[in-house]
Structure 1
């Protein structure tokens, strides 16, 4: 049986786990330690509260907080009431958040204060006129004037019964929408990817089974919950199998080493950056890492030397690689447990069961094995579309159900996929997808900038970072440091260019498209 039919909905995973694993530890967040039955009780209370708040089937609810127990419980409460979670990137500025809340028509927002930013207060100041937003709930740590505190939200659940909460969960089906994950695109405007309970459960139920997740495991979840990596491949996949979840709000290699040793962490998935930092941390030799067992890394090419080091110096038995994009539930291909290290390093593995991958040329025709082309995906994991954007949906998914990923790659004769370029111009900063068109649009709001072109360039630690080629307005003046400082105030940190080059003109072709390959060549020269 597929996991979508076994569990039916994400909240029902918690009820099933409570029956199977009872008082075994489900979640460790600082001093908080919850067993599976305790986690179920907190979920049910959150569902009761969401029902009292008026959250019902199909309502979109924003959720902006660091990795934490409250993020998980809030999401389960929203979904258990029939609502749709809209995760918000905690690195976003208020204007970026406001766009997503308005586009999704979110009627409520759950938000914390994180890294010095109180999201509710910042949002109220930046855009107080969100028409659909009726309620704000301040998660622990928030300082702003919210409609309800987290405790106030939970206390409100007394106005509904446990029976009503369970009945609401019972009504959920695999076809119901679980979340709308906003991802930036080549147009520069974020697009909301619609995903269902069933798609999520089927994909990550397979992944966690293939990766040998077990009730004896503990998973330190570093990737942020606002991405599928931390949310679906992280806490949700773990709780399906009785794995103990340890959320980490901000990655710090030294603290991670301490947690791995103290909690006997056995699963650690994430971008190559975190493993690079662990390997090079001065305190690594002083910590017992022998519990580490399974890892999967993705987001960029994995050097074979890193795989060797992860096994030798970090004690992993298994290191895997995978490929996905949010529009395909963030899981398309994966290597398998018995694959050779060179396959893990060179490829992202084979399609997951019941998912097809084609490589096509510009005319849409299949190309031979080993030849590069656009990666096309078809299967149950493909999004139902972009929220309130039928034109973008039609452009991305053809009538035959094939998703045009915009990524370039090739298949070898064994069916393993190698990705050679991602999202055409997209680059990946420490595991975060950065889209040049969006960053360029943001830079144009800086008064001295007349034109901007952004490319990804190599960086030893983060994999890639942005370099902005900028044409200034006549008479305007700024410096590299000045532009970067402005960018840090107006965009998420991973979007901020680390390099700036001032030029008189941008190289263009006859159609006036910027020749970014020339800019890449200039940077390397």
Structure 2
């Protein structure tokens, strides 16, 4: 039995044409939505001024620092006036280099309110990269007038590079080091110029540019128009009407340079008059401790994470009854994105919910991308499973186009981007002759005779390959099976075998899970843990069992190698949300590929 969470309708309309193309829609109409998201901020500042909108722990005292809706709107107007005084010219933008913070949020909302385009650049581009290639590319594309970093000391090298490229840019830091102090912005008194600028913003004004990691080459900047963002928030709210009925409470770490954390989670809290608490933890051995401490105090109404985050949370929920009670008591949904959730993790989450509150919490996912702001469809009902994508959001026209033996999903809706920032070639290539965005995602109906049961993920069109026998390998489906059955030791996988006789797998392992399996101390290196005899035994046993359920050469993995070195962000092997880039890994690890195909 599942918790009685109110969900939006899932009645659909499916129309098939003689050429094999299918159009798939939700019968629910899309309700009206505001022009810009700060219209909601102004609304809530008037309706419930004292309600906490956003909060973050003070890094020194560890106390929660809170901003109400009224306080937030007041500070946003101050910063907006500061930006107006700088007299931005056409094409000049605000660039944010650093992590989620109160200052980051305020600068975002001020920029959006008066129609200045901003972009949040992935912090690893500044902190992890060795050559700053992606950072340089993003900066040059955005021509910033203002560059913000939370810590001038932490981001010193990135700021020095920024000033080299754009010496006239205004650098602002929250701590005042290596730039102007953020406090100066807050002390600026707003004039009627703020309201004048705000009234000139329309649905087609570009609110932000979000960089996608891309399957090849340098990141592309997806234009997020004001109306696009708000349309998607209205669509998501219609999928999850409980967010309107009760102000949501989110505790969230997902980065705002990515559409999941920024457009979806941050946006939903604001759109529905809720509260978002910034979690400075992450799904890492050290970061998970911070997340768990926050969840001991905060009871979310919905909880968003990537599969790895849920996997790392489970041991704490199993050990701490009080944490478990606090976590589940107000939850309406658990929501994952970014990768497939291993079925054992899914099952354990449901078991823990039943043990704690007597019912299962619906585990929700769907399908989307940065270009759709992000959400295009949801499986918003209890009893879903990993890989089920659900049905389109209201106002979304999904066109399914035959591509070989697969169907590619294409989108047309108010929440779909108009293209890529200063990249007309990529924009032209992204849309078909009818104006539908080409996702590259392959899908199929769970039940051809009952489209209301939704679509199922069927891999990525570009990732699939043929063996030398001419047999197609469905990479997405096979990869999901590997991760699900190999969890927690196998964290991710890249499949090889183009024009070869058999499939090979480059395995990326979970170092902590390997240490635990082999009873090794935390000081043991990742390499030693990966190559431990107990880990080798586990993988060999897993592979034997995996292949027992395979149906032919397209689903049998003959050989594997273990990737000792972690994926490189500079080489494009990993995105900032942690997913692997199959093509880049195969390109840069040809030695591992050759090891499987001597």
Which position in structure 1 is the counterpart of 2:541?
none
8 A contact 2:78–2:185 mirrored in 1: no
SS in 1 for 2:389: coil
8 A contact 1:303–1:345 mirrored in 2: yes
Q: CA 1:254 to 1:128, structure 2 compared with 1: closer, same or farther past 3 Å?
A: closer
Q: Deviations over 1:225-281 (max 9, x none)?
A: 111111111122111112111012332333323322323222211211111111123
8 A contact 1:184–1:435 mirrored in 2: no
Q: 1:168 Cα shift?
A: 1.9
- 1:34 has 2:99 as partner: no
8 A contact 1:488–1:496 mirrored in 2: no
- 1:294 has 2:333 as partner: yes
Which position in structure 2 is the counterpart of 1:9?
36
Q: 1:39 Cα shift?
A: 1.3
Within the candidate set 348, 351, 357, 2:398 is matched to 357
Q: CA 1:402 to 1:482, structure 2 compared with 1: closer, same or farther past 3 Å?
A: closer
Q: CA 1:15 to 1:344, structure 2 compared with 1: closer, same or farther past 3 Å?
A: farther
Which position in structure 2 is the counterpart of 1:401?
435
Q: CA 1:328 to 1:520, structure 2 compared with 1: closer, same or farther past 3 Å?
A: farther
Within the candidate set 154, 165, 169, 1:118 is matched to 154
Q: 1:60 Cα shift?
A: 1.9
Which position in structure 1 is the counterpart of 2:292?
257
Q: 1:410 Cα shift?
A: 2.1
Q: CA 1:255 to 1:52, structure 2 compared with 1: closer, same or farther past 3 Å?
A: same
Q: CA 1:203 to 1:344, structure 2 compared with 1: closer, same or farther past 3 Å?
A: farther
- 1:348 has 2:383 as partner: no
Q: CA 1:4 to 1:356, structure 2 compared with 1: closer, same or farther past 3 Å?
A: closer
| CA distance, structure 2, for counterparts of residue 481 and residue 128 of structure 1 | 41
**Aligned residue runs from structure 1 range 80-479, under 5 A:** 80-92=113-125, 93=129, 94-113=132-151, 118-119=154-155, 121-126=156-161, 128-131=163-166, 134-140=169-175, 143=177, 145-146=178-179, 148-155=180-187, 157-158=188-189, 160-161=190-191, 163-211=192-240, 212-214=242-244, 215-251=246-282, 252-281=287-316, 283-287=319-323, 288-289=326-327, 290-314=329-353, 317-336=361-380, 339-341=381-383, 343-362=384-403, 372-412=406-446, 413=448, 414-415=450-451, 416-422=454-460, 424-425=462-463, 457=507, 459=509
Structure 2 alignment gaps of length 5 or more: 1-27, 58-63, 464-475, 495-503, 514-560
Q: 1:58 Cα shift?
A: 5.4
SS in 2 for 1:242: coil
SS in 1 for 2:44: helix
SS in 2 for 1:169: helix
SS in 1 for 2:363: strand
Q: 1:138 Cα shift?
A: 0.9
Q: CA 1:2 to 1:362, structure 2 compared with 1: closer, same or farther past 3 Å?
A: closer
SS in 2 for 1:277: helix
Q: CA 1:494 to 1:57, structure 2 compared with 1: closer, same or farther past 3 Å?
A: closer
In the superposition, the TM-score normalised over structure 2's length comes to 0.67
Q: CA 1:455 to 1:129, structure 2 compared with 1: closer, same or farther past 3 Å?
A: farther
Q: 1:308 Cα shift?
A: 3.3
8 A contact 1:334–1:349 mirrored in 2: yes
Report the RMSD for the aligned CA atoms in angstroms: 4.1
In the superposition, the TM-score normalised over structure 1's length comes to 0.76
Which position in structure 1 is the counterpart of 2:47?
20
| CA distance, structure 2, for counterparts of residue 407 and residue 359 of structure 1 | 10
Which position in structure 2 is the counterpart of 1:522?
596
Give the greater-gyration-radius structure (CA): 2
8 A contact 2:211–2:221 mirrored in 1: yes
8 A contact 1:61–1:86 mirrored in 2: yes
8 A contact 1:88–1:226 mirrored in 2: yes
Q: CA 1:208 to 1:253, structure 2 compared with 1: closer, same or farther past 3 Å?
A: farther
Which position in structure 2 is the counterpart of 1:474?
none
Q: CA 1:173 to 1:489, structure 2 compared with 1: closer, same or farther past 3 Å?
A: closer
Q: 1:54 Cα shift?
A: 2.5
**How many pairs are equivalent?**
457
SS in 2 for 1:268: strand
